[in-house]
Structure 1
Amino acid sequence: MLSASSNQPAIMDEKKKAVITAKLRSRDEERQNAILKRQEEKQAVNADGERLDFFLKTFKDEKKIIEEFINNCETLDNKSELADKFDEMSLAIQKLQQYVAECALFLPSSTLGRAQSDVSDLNTNLQKQKELMLPKKKFAFKNRKKYSEKPKPIVEKNQPEKSLTDVAVTKCNFSDRTGEILTKDPEEINKEDVALVNLSDCTVKLSGSPSAMHVNKLNGCKVFSGPVSSSIFIRNCTNCTFLLACHQLRIHETTNCQFYIHVTSKAIIEACNQITFAPYNWEYPGLDSHFQLSGLDTSQNAWDDIDDFNWLSADVHSPNWSLIPEEDRVKQWDP
């Protein structure tokens, strides 16, 4: 009969074996988990790679179409057809800009920056060709008039502004208000058209990234807006202050208003006077992400490059607009 002491080595061997088996099992599980994690990471990388490849191909194809028109538009003789084609290409650039914004979340920063720069270059080159092929009609006088005399307003063709009725029924809008603080958050206005109509002594705060903005008949108002991915049209406003960021800004029949702007193309004024400009400086939580969503190039701001359609002299500065001296600019706005 074996004694207890003689069974002890066998018991110890079993315990060691169990410990070793457990360690081997644990290592095997760790190895399997590591393999699974690498496979998931590889699949994620492949998915991002596929999305990036699709983006690059789509962007390249759309860019090529626009570039081909810019390079070959001189072959089109029909002025009406040419004007329509320029409008079509301008819309194509806006859509391409929006596409870049929608893909920004998964694009490498270098790719995103290059795409934004390419879109900006496309727009600049398109506008240069349009000015060359479809120059603004100049005035002809029997007797030369002095610049101090008010010239006849120039009306640009094919201007994509909405009528007052169309603006009033825009989904996101404020109209017919007096002395109120009016706000809309990103969930309401991101990628939506916004309209402001017939407001008096109101403060409007739009923290988000609208698709476009239409403003008509504001008096004594302050308007703060996040970055707009396409255009802002302003008409018939007096004694207002605007803080705006957009791709294209057009201001008509407006008097005694201040504009703090970030605009990626030359702003246009028409039939305006006492208009002043400074760089955009509104800050609020989420602004950076809204700039990214809008697709606007934060490094490009033509805030001080204004085209006055009612001023014919290229050598003398228009008396209808000026820059706000730095010491007179509002440095920080109330939240």
Structure 2
Amino acid sequence: MACEIAVEDVGQNFADLNEKRNLVTDRLQRRDEERLQDLQKKKEDKEKITSDTENTVFFNENFNAAKAKIEADLMRSDDITGKSELTDHFDALVVAVQSLQKFVSDSTLFLPKYEIRSSQDVVNRLTDAINEKRDEKIPKKKFAFKSKKKSEKIEKKGTQNGDAVDSATTSKVSVQANDCGFMDLSGQSLSLGEKSINQKDVAIMRLTDCVVKLHGSPSAIHIDKLTNCKVFSGPVSASIFIDNCTNCTFVLPCQQLRIHSTTDTSFYIHVTSKAIIEDCSRVVFAPYNWYYNGIDEHYRMSGLDKSINNWDDVDDFNWLVTDQQSPNWGVIPVEERVENWET
């Protein structure tokens, strides 16, 4: 009997040892797996950092080269005298800046926030410099307020081109050779057709309680100091700049959208790069959804890619926290969006 008990004890001891050995083996195996996973993660992180660094180096090299070429071409502007040659020269500069803007937009996935802002500032400065030099070399007539009689003549002529101004008061409308727009109006329905705005700069300033419709493809739109207004536009080949607007609705497609010092405003947009806001609050976004006869041709004319719309990719220059949503802008819930605009 004693022998049997000893055998059983030995067997139990072996079983206990095997169990302990298995536990130790499992624990070591888990540790080894965790170590390998940690090494793999560190390797992937290192590769990602290396990849991002290489991408950033590639971006900086190409960006700086393109920037230097645009600056050099801009400096040559003073050596060109013919109006036709100057027009072609500045058109080429605008295309070059648009390509640079697209390069920046396509690189935002891997660029640091400060790099995006710095590059965007360079693009904006180049755009401003080109516009200033173009205005210097090819002067435009400045906006002028019209008297009532002159305004009536413009309205009658404009209606034949698809333009209209519905007003119960004196209209101060500027429709010049190279620029067009509306200024200092209240409580009116305003529109301009393609013959007035295609490939031209449009200015909309100091309006209250107005509805503006632009049926065509402007090259740029400048909007300033609007209150309780709605603005609709066809595709804009370059940029739209909006400043100091309150309680408005904008329905706009463009290549680049800059919004400054604007509050309580809705944007229905198609933007192929990014919307950028600064010093704004309570601004909300949804996809562009206005339609009118001829818009497809205007899209073709503008060069905008209808398949690319970054309407909800908004950079807030006042919000630098990368892992948190800016409190200054948001998305309009689907159920709250306007589906059909009165046309």
Write the deviation string for residues 29-49 of structure 1: whole angstroms up to 9, x where unpaired. Answer: xxxxxxxxxxxxxxxxxxxxx
Q: 1:325 to 1:135 in 2, by over 3 A?
A: closer
Q: Which runs of 5+ in 2 are unaligned?
A: 1-56, 74-90, 133-139, 144-177
User: 2:23 matched to which residue of 1?
Assistant: none
Q: Does 1:204 align with 2:191?
A: no
Q: Which runs of 5+ in 1 are unaligned?
A: 1-69, 99-117, 138-154
What is the 5 A alignment of 1:1-335? Answer: 73-74=60-61, 84-85=67-68, 94-95=94-95, 122=103, 124-125=105-106, 134=115, 136=117, 156=121, 158-159=124-125, 160=127, 169=143, 171-335=179-343
- The 2-side partners of 1:129 and 1:83 are apart by 19
Q: 1:192 to 1:198 in 2, by over 3 A?
A: same
* Residue type of the alignment partner of 1:229: S
User: 1:148 matched to which residue of 2?
Assistant: none
* 1:312 to partner: Cα distance: 1.3
SS in structure 1 opposite 2:234? Answer: strand
- The 2-side partners of 1:318 and 1:305 are apart by 12
* Residue type of the alignment partner of 1:219: T
Give the number of equivalent residue pairs. 224
Identity of aligned residues (%): 48
Write the deviation string for residues 153-187 of structure 1: whole angstroms up to 9, x where unpaired. Answer: xx946544589xx9973721110011111100001
- The 1-side partners of 2:69 and 2:318 are apart by 23
Write the deviation string for residues 223-277 of structure 1: whole angstroms up to 9, x where unpaired. Answer: 0000000000000000000000000000000000000000001110000000000
TM-score, normalised by the number of residues in structure 1: 0.58
TM-score, normalised by the number of residues in structure 2: 0.57
Is the Cα contact below 8 Å between 2:113 and 2:322 reproduced in 1? Answer: no
Which of 1 and 2 has higher RCO (CA within 8 Å, sep 6+)? 1
- The 1-side partners of 2:110 and 2:333 are apart by 34
Is the Cα contact below 8 Å between 1:220 and 1:239 reproduced in 2? Answer: yes
Is the Cα contact below 8 Å between 1:167 and 1:214 reproduced in 2? Answer: no
Q: How large is the Cα RMSD of the aligned pairs?
A: 3.7
Is the Cα contact below 8 Å between 1:173 and 1:194 reproduced in 2? Answer: yes
- The 1-side partners of 2:222 and 2:243 are apart by 8
